Chains A and B, each alone.
Chain A
């Protein structure tokens, strides 16, 4: 067992080729070690991912091109019939509308609120840990319990929120009737659960921002607001991108909250709050047990999430670099100037 080291291509000008040198096996091993080991160390994740992540995705694709009932199992190969059937379903398009609507009115305020909360938590507070843990508490509450509580709050006739509105002379809102109202109610549940969670992620990123930058900003006469926009936001850009991507994925897969929003769990009589995941579930697991069609919905949802995720990634990249790279550079310049001043002093 020996390996020849690669021979360089001959050229006319080159001297006569050297005899290939025999390399010791131990040396080969150590070269392999350098080249292969890192991949081995990270391989457990990828092996697990192929088994538990990639395989289901591909298998879902396989199911989606077959006629497939939940109880009867696999049927004939039907090509893309399931997809065309899904496109013909009014409920599917309604579910897309609802999903996007709930996603927008939950994710946008959620990320903004989370950054603001994190900024406040990043200040010098008394009982820091208490406030930080408190922010995370809603996340610990089971989604079904959240559904029960908010179901009471948002009940159309007997709900607390409608009776509060009544105090101000506002007519009761049909939380289970009007599509937009139902989306707001569901988005409220989502925000209740996830805002604190995201705030903690932002907080962790903010803690890593070098304090000198803030000192420099203060010396340059920046107020709290200015240093928030010109120092904090540019510095935590990567985290913003991360949170936006994860909440895109989570928001488009929303299921628990709309499912527990009424007792039937089917998304409302006019499908006011039927989300795509809920539609997928109803197609595959109740009524017609059409797993083939459900798998097609799953794949479409997968592609949609991928597309919106990429758009969001591009947007956050642009927003973070476009609107704040100027001030960010300025801040760096300022800090450099501050250093220079200090040295000269």
Chain B
């Protein structure tokens, strides 16, 4: 009896001391107590460290982040960068599912992940505030707004699309090569996809190179101009077999006329990367951030330029947001940091660092942006071009929770026709229908 009591005491004591240790540790980690969550006025007396999790290259250099400490002396900002956005996505969703432990104070997300995250908007801080009212065009804030009106992400960059092209290959094929002339050739403000393919036909007739890199890229550009591609705005999926708009686009890009223009490459594949060195294709749909990969893959090739034009009007491909997970101990301070990082002047700095085109309307007229040129693209005035392309975006594609799955099904079908040549257009479409049905929506 006595022995049991002693054992019990010992166990209690050790559990208690572990608990004490644990609490001691955690209070070291987050010195800002929960009580400081006042409206945009976090306690500025205690030193805190805020972490920002990004991927690829957001243009947030050490110096840029250190700038924040000038106005917020108690805050140190640290950044963790994932090499691939997929890694960042897995990290974010898994940790959110586990209750939010281990997440950074500010988490960057890509526009494609928004649909599923907006559904769980309670896991994020509402970022609405007067300070950021009217900062973005509606098409940027709409996808980040939950059904109850909560804003879960501040827009960082956008992907307004232009046409990047090889002026040397254009010249060799007897086409005009000056950016303004190319824009005119493709139809100027009234550019259409038909016109784009028509010019492509004249090009491939006189050249060994293909007109564009990948049918899936063209399809992506087209789908981003549909208001509701795969799902009705109320979130219900449109049965793929009855989706005439998507079927029409699919038949266009897998049709014989357009296939003739394709380099038959899967984007981001090793063959695609290698084709840059071999003059594999003459044009590419080119969101602002694509200028980086093109430059990276085309070392030694000098002919690249950018035409201020896009078939079918404007188009947006990609772009990111900064969110603040609600479970973070310094959520309010993190919100302030996120607002600062997405402010016009910081976004222009990030653009100059990494080519991420700012999404803030105010930034568009800033001389630092309008005057920006890109040396690799023969000094193309990228600031002005992508600014114009941004203003030309009219359509906000609705992306619901099943967008990704259905888009993958159609994309696979296009790959079978365009890249693998393992099925004809009709057989591959049947495959997409099967894949859609297997989703059980």
Q: Could you tell me which A residues sit within 8 Å of B by CB distance?
A: 70-73, 85, 88-91, 151-152, 155-159, 174, 176-177, 262-266, 269-270, 285-289, 291
Would you call B90 and A269 a contact (CB within 8 A)?
Answer: no
Among B266, B416, B420, B439, which residue has its beta carbon within 8 angstroms of that of A288? B439
Among B119, B268, B421, B434, which residue has its beta carbon within 8 angstroms of that of A71? B119
A151: chain B residues within 8 A (beta carbon): 270
- Among all A-B residue pairs, the 6 with the closest Cβ atoms: A263-B268, A158-B274, A269-B415, A155-B270, A269-B412, A177-B420
B439: chain A residues within 8 A (beta carbon): 288
Kindly state whether residue B5 has any CB partner on chain A within 8 Å: no
Kindly state whether residue B419 has any CB partner on chain A within 8 Å: yes
Knowing A71-B97, A151-B270, A263-B269, say if A174 contacts B116 (CB, 8 Å): no
Would you call B116 and A71 a contact (CB within 8 A)?
Answer: yes
Would you call B416 and A270 a contact (CB within 8 A)?
Answer: yes
Kindly state whether residue B271 has any CB partner on chain A within 8 Å: yes
Q: How far is the CA of A91 from the CA of B93 in the complex (A)?
A: 24
Q: How far is the CA of A177 from the CA of B416 in the complex (A)?
A: 8
Kindly state whether residue B198 has any CB partner on chain A within 8 Å: no
8 contacts across the A-B interface (CB closer than 8 A): A72-B119, A158-B270, A158-B278, A159-B270, A264-B266, A270-B420, A270-B423, A286-B86
- Main SS at interface, chain A: loop
Q: How far is the CA of A244 from the CA of B419 in the complex (A)?
A: 38
B86: chain A residues within 8 A (beta carbon): 265, 286
Would you call A155 and B438 a contact (CB within 8 A)?
Answer: no
User: How far does the Cβ of A295 sit from chain B's closest Cβ, in whole Å?
Assistant: 13
Nearest B residue (CB) for A72: B120
Kindly state whether residue B139 has any CB partner on chain A within 8 Å: no
Would you call B94 and A262 a contact (CB within 8 A)?
Answer: no
User: How far does the Cβ of A185 sit from chain B's closest Cβ, in whole Å?
Assistant: 12
Q: How far is the CA of A89 from the CA of B434 in the complex (A)?
A: 10
Among A71, A152, A288, which residue has its beta carbon within 8 angstroms of that of B96? A71
A155: chain B residues within 8 A (beta carbon): 269-271, 274
Would you call B94 and A176 a contact (CB within 8 A)?
Answer: no
Q: How far is the CA of A73 from the CA of B122 in the complex (A)?
A: 13
Would you call B404 and A158 a contact (CB within 8 A)?
Answer: no
Among B123, B278, B431, which residue has its beta carbon within 8 angstroms of that of A270? B431
A176: chain B residues within 8 A (beta carbon): 266, 269, 419-420
Q: How far is the CA of A291 from the CA of B94 in the complex (A)?
A: 11
Q: How far is the CA of A289 from the CA of B116 in the complex (A)?
A: 9
A73: chain B residues within 8 A (beta carbon): 97
A285: chain B residues within 8 A (beta carbon): 90, 93-94
Would you call A263 and B440 a contact (CB within 8 A)?
Answer: no
A159: chain B residues within 8 A (beta carbon): 270-271
Q: How far is the CA of A18 from the CA of B438 in the complex (A)?
A: 78
Nearest A residue (CB) for B120: A71
- Beyond contacts A71-B93, A157-B265, A174-B420: 8 other A-B pairs, Cβ-Cβ < 8 A, are A70-B94, A71-B116, A71-B117, A88-B438, A155-B274, A158-B278, A263-B268, A285-B94
Among A90, A91, A269, A287, which residue has its beta carbon within 8 angstroms of that of B420? A269
Would you call B274 and A263 a contact (CB within 8 A)?
Answer: no
Kindly state whether residue B66 has any CB partner on chain A within 8 Å: no
A177: chain B residues within 8 A (beta carbon): 420-422
Kindly state whether residue B408 has any CB partner on chain A within 8 Å: yes
Would you call B422 and A158 a contact (CB within 8 A)?
Answer: no
Would you call B408 and A287 a contact (CB within 8 A)?
Answer: yes
Among A70, A85, A152, which residue has its beta carbon within 8 angstroms of that of B93? A70
Total B residues in contact with A, Cβ cutoff 8 Å? 41
With most chain A CB atoms within 10 A of its CB, the pick from B89, B97, B275, B439 is: B97
A263: chain B residues within 8 A (beta carbon): 266-269
B116: chain A residues within 8 A (beta carbon): 71, 289
Kindly state whether residue B302 has any CB partner on chain A within 8 Å: no
Kindly state whether residue B405 has any CB partner on chain A within 8 Å: yes
Q: Could you tell me which B residues sit within 8 Å of A by CB distance?
A: 86, 89-90, 93-94, 96-97, 116-117, 119-120, 123, 265-271, 274-275, 278, 402, 404-405, 408, 411-413, 415-416, 419-423, 431, 434, 438-440
Would you call B404 and A287 a contact (CB within 8 A)?
Answer: yes
User: How far does the Cβ of A263 sit from chain B's closest Cβ, in whole Å?
Assistant: 4
Knowing A177-B420, A262-B266, A269-B420, say if A289 contacts B431 (CB, 8 Å): no
B96: chain A residues within 8 A (beta carbon): 71
User: How far does the Cβ of A163 sit from chain B's closest Cβ, in whole Å?
Assistant: 11
Q: How far is the CA of A73 from the CA of B120 in the complex (A)?
A: 11
A70: chain B residues within 8 A (beta carbon): 93-94, 97
A291: chain B residues within 8 A (beta carbon): 97
User: How far does the Cβ of A260 sit from chain B's closest Cβ, in whole Å?
Assistant: 11
Among A72, A157, A286, A289, which residue has its beta carbon within 8 angstroms of that of B274? A157
User: How far does the Cβ of A274 sit from chain B's closest Cβ, in whole Å?
Assistant: 11
A158: chain B residues within 8 A (beta carbon): 270-271, 274-275, 278
A265: chain B residues within 8 A (beta carbon): 86
Q: How far is the CA of A287 from the CA of B404 in the complex (A)?
A: 6
Would you call B271 and A157 a contact (CB within 8 A)?
Answer: yes
Among B405, B411, B438, which residue has its beta carbon within 8 angstroms of that of A89? B438
Knowing A287-B404, A289-B93, say if A90 contacts B275 (CB, 8 Å): no
A89: chain B residues within 8 A (beta carbon): 438
B423: chain A residues within 8 A (beta carbon): 270
Q: How far is the CA of A286 from the CA of B431 in the complex (A)?
A: 20
Would you call B266 and A286 a contact (CB within 8 A)?
Answer: no
User: How far does the Cβ of A87 sit from chain B's closest Cβ, in whole Å?
Assistant: 12
Q: How far is the CA of A159 from the CA of B270 in the complex (A)?
A: 8
B413: chain A residues within 8 A (beta carbon): 269
Q: How far is the CA of A286 from the CA of B116 in the complex (A)?
A: 10
Q: How far is the CA of A177 from the CA of B97 in the complex (A)?
A: 36
With most chain A CB atoms within 10 A of its CB, the pick from B117, B412, B439 is: B412
Q: How far is the CA of A36 from the CA of B117 in the complex (A)?
A: 53
Q: How far is the CA of A212 from the CA of B93 in the complex (A)?
A: 61
Nearest A residue (CB) for B421: A177
Q: How far is the CA of A156 from the CA of B123 in the complex (A)?
A: 44
Q: How far is the CA of A80 from the CA of B438 in the complex (A)?
A: 18
B94: chain A residues within 8 A (beta carbon): 70, 285
Nearest B residue (CB) for A71: B120
B274: chain A residues within 8 A (beta carbon): 155, 157-158
User: How far does the Cβ of A80 sit from chain B's closest Cβ, in whole Å?
Assistant: 16
User: How far does the Cβ of A264 sit from chain B's closest Cβ, in whole Å?
Assistant: 8
Q: How far is the CA of A285 from the CA of B278 in the complex (A)?
A: 37
B120: chain A residues within 8 A (beta carbon): 71-72
Q: How far is the CA of A286 from the CA of B112 in the complex (A)?
A: 11
User: How far does the Cβ of A144 sit from chain B's closest Cβ, in whole Å?
Assistant: 9
With most chain B CB atoms within 10 A of its CB, the pick from A89, A157, A266, A269 is: A269
User: How far does the Cβ of B99 sit from chain A's closest Cβ, in whole Å?
Assistant: 9
